[in-house]
Amino acid sequence: MDRGDLVIEFEDLDDNDAVHVSATDTSFASSDIIEIDTVKNGKLVITADKLRNLVNGPVTLLLSKETEKVIKNSINEHGRITVSYGLKRQFELENPDAP
pLDDT at 99: 37
Q: What is the pTM of this model?
A: 0.81
pLDDT at 96: 60
The Cα 24–Cα 32 span in angstroms is 5
Domain boundaries of the chain, sorted by first residue: 6-93
Using CA atoms, how far residue 79 sits from 41, 69, 72, in Å, is 32, 8, 7
Using CA atoms, how far residue 3 sits from 15, 19, 21, 93, in Å, is 25, 21, 17, 7
User: From the first residue on, what is the mean pLDDT of each consecutive set of 10 residues in the chain (99 residues)?
Assistant: 87 92 93 95 94 93 93 79 94 71
